Amino acid sequence: MSERGTPRILVFDSGVGGLSVAARVHEQLPRASIVYLADNAAFPYGSQPESVVIERCCRLITKALEQYPCDAVVVACNTASTIALPNLRAITDVPVVGVVPAVKPAAAHTLNRRIGILATPATVRRPYLDELIREFAPGCQVERVGNPELVQWAEDLARGVPVPQCDLDNAVATLRDAGVDTVVLGCTHYPLLLASLKQSLPEVKFWVDSGDAIARRVVWLLAQAGKPVEAFEQGKAPCVPVAAALFSGVAPEAVASYMAGLGLQPKLVTGNWPEKS
């Protein structure tokens, strides 16, 4: 636990996508302090060899925990979660939470049994997505879209660049044609695009992502470790919810104001970390 007596959570991603998860963690643990770590020097992880993803995740998260001791680690990246979780859990005693596409809750929400899965090309190809669909959505028509541009549009949005709405309309046209009523946002970057996605697909009734489930898991892990959230709620909230936003590459321009707009005002933003820390 941090020196202030409040929990501290490390949220890790290859870019800004994990901010969507950090926002949900902050909602459920408003007294907690968050450290955000983005390996944007190696973005996107989906194009990296697995050995590189494992090495970078383990090295950067270990370094962050040395500098900012935390009570839980959230790997808010589908690629890193499917590749690096066993290695991370082997090198730290801090609980590590990963993400998976929210196929199970999508199957519970859909009314017409038509589900769209919007993900990165790497996630769409991974066998574990096939397994999730077989296990949790066997009676549903599932349309997958793996578009390489959406993640970059989310990254650009954090720098103040508007989403190209016409291009987004074209990118998700397959889901519109399939008549899906529920869409799984299978990448943590995609909730950041939700306002634009709703313009592209106004007929969709349910938008499902993993953020709330991850936040609930963090609360549960803290309780299991003898750190019930009720005790933290009685304490003083941090002046700013994010103790540090660490970027392995150049910190995105205007990212501090973007984070503040998500309710995640950072106390410190550091680029080229840890080399310049």
Active site residue 187: yes
Q: Which residues pair with 74 in a beta bridge?
A: 11, 97
pLDDT at 153 over 60: yes
pLDDT confidence band for 141 (50 / 70 / 90): very high
Q: Which helix (H) or strand (E) holds 151?
A: helix 149-158
Phi, psi torsion values for 245, nearest 5 degrees: -115, 110
pLDDT confidence band for 2 (50 / 70 / 90): very low
Neighbours of 213 (CB within 10 A): 18
Are the CB atoms for 12 and 74 separated by under 8 Å? yes
pLDDT confidence band for 234 (50 / 70 / 90): low
Mean pLDDT of the chain: 92
38: helix, strand or coil: strand
Averaged pLDDT, 100-129: 95
Model pLDDT, residue 6: 79
Neighbours of 18 (CB within 10 A): 26
- How many percent of the chain have pLDDT more than 90? 85
Model pLDDT, residue 46: 85
Active site residue 58: no
pLDDT confidence band for 236 (50 / 70 / 90): low
Strand residue runs (E) in 162-254: 182-185, 206-208, 242-247
pLDDT confidence band for 233 (50 / 70 / 90): low
CA distance 257 to 118: 27
Question: Tokens for 25?
Answer: 């963690």
For strand 206-208 and strand 242-247, is the pairing parallel, antiparallel, or unpaired? unpaired
Catalytic entry in 57, 70, 140, 187: 187
**Lowest-confidence region among 95-104, 234-243, 249-258:** 234-243
CA distance 253 to 251: 6
Q: Where are the alpha helices (DSSP H) in 29-148?
A: 50-67, 78-91, 103-109, 121-125, 127-136
CA distance 172 to 150: 10
Model pLDDT, residue 57: 97
More confident residue, 24 or 1: 24
Model pLDDT, residue 122: 87
pLDDT confidence band for 3 (50 / 70 / 90): very low
pLDDT confidence band for 4 (50 / 70 / 90): very low
pLDDT confidence band for 154 (50 / 70 / 90): very high
Are the CB atoms for 171 and 183 separated by under 8 Å? no
CA distance 27 to 218: 12
Return the ∠ at Cα 192 (arms to 1 and 190), rounded to 5°.
100
CA distance 188 to 99: 9
Model pLDDT, residue 215: 95
Catalytic entry in 57, 70, 77, 140: 77
pLDDT at 37 over 50: yes
pLDDT at 163 over 50: yes
Averaged pLDDT, 228-244: 68
Please report, for residues 37, 75, 272, the alpha-carbon distance to residue 86 in angstroms, rounded to integers and kept in the order given.
19, 12, 27
Residues recorded for the chain: 277
